[in-house]
Amino acid sequence: DIQMTQSPSSVSASIGDRVTITCRASQGISSWLAWYQQKPGKAPKLLIYAASSLQSGVPSRFSGSGSGTDFTLTISSLQPEDFATYYCQQANSFPPTFGGGTKVEIK
Amino acid sequence: EVQLVETGGGLIQPGGSLRLSCAASGFTVSSNYMSWVRQAPGKGLEWVSVIYSGGSTYYADSVKGRFTISRDNSKNTLYLQMNSLRAEDTAVYYCAREGDGGYASYWGQGTLVTVSS
């Protein structure tokens, strides 16, 4: 199975900050990567797919980049509703696997 | 509007069986790839199973031989039959509709399965 490693596991940030989360795959996955946002007690929400494509309805302050093994999710200006846990997921090969999550907390 | 509503969770003893349902509206289950993803309490996401529009099914090694994914086209509903349940199967189970590329673009609200004596 492909292992997905996210860093950091948590980050404290203030409103308006730029936040960057990284995800590394144990082997190359081309651009077969998604990012999800999950708030407590809620289902995950797809933010980014194919490494850099913004899901419909997702604010443009979210962006994704990378290919191969190294990927990045960037929130350009953190908003109050962005405090949540973020997961990456590879869809290159079976089984689909998720990163361990990055919790974005209020500083 | 796309909606997914899971039901069927609850408290079950180890070794028991449970069937989860995921009622869909706003789209046709049989025309889409449909998945189950679970999340143990306080933990991350774990993919469980998928059924393709053509009917092919795939499972995580951790549930293979114990869980069965299926669908009822007449009811537009997805199922997950879970047998020989273990404590480590305790989780919130989400059903999801996959878009192009294998990404879960719509999720249900989840149903909690607790395996405990």
Residues of chain B in contact with residue A91, where contact means CB-CB under 8 angstroms, are: 101-103
Residue from B92, B80, B76 nearest B42 by CA: B92
In this prediction, the residues of chain B whose per-residue pLDDT falls under 70 are none
Q: So what's the pLDDT on residue B101?
A: 78
Distance CA B36, CA B77 (A): 13
Q: So what's the pLDDT on residue B93?
A: 98
Nearest CA in chain A to B93: A43
* Residues A59-97 pLDDT 10s: 999 999 999 999 999 999 999 999 999 999 999 999 999
CA angle A99, A19, A70 (to 5 degrees): 45
A95 touches chain B (CB under 8 A): yes
Contact B61 A94 (CB under 8 A): no
How many Cβ pairs within 8 Å bridge chains A and B?
Answer: 55
* Residues A12-39 pLDDT 10s: 999 999 999 999 999 999 999 999 999 9
A23 touches chain B (CB under 8 A): no
Distance CA B56, CA B27 (A): 19
Distance CA B2, CA B76 (A): 12
A45 touches chain B (CB under 8 A): yes
Q: So what's the pLDDT on residue A106?
A: 87
Q: So what's the pLDDT on residue A79?
A: 96
Contact A95 B103 (CB under 8 A): no
Q: So what's the pLDDT on residue A98?
A: 98
Contact A45 B107 (CB under 8 A): yes
β-pairing verdict for B67-72 and B57-59: unpaired
Contact A50 B101 (CB under 8 A): yes
Q: How many CA atoms lie within 13 A of B108 on its CB side?
A: 26
Distance CA B83, CA B12 (A): 11
- In chain B, positions 35-74, which contact chain A (CB-CB < 8 Å)? 37, 44-47, 58, 60-61
A80 in helix, strand or coil? helix
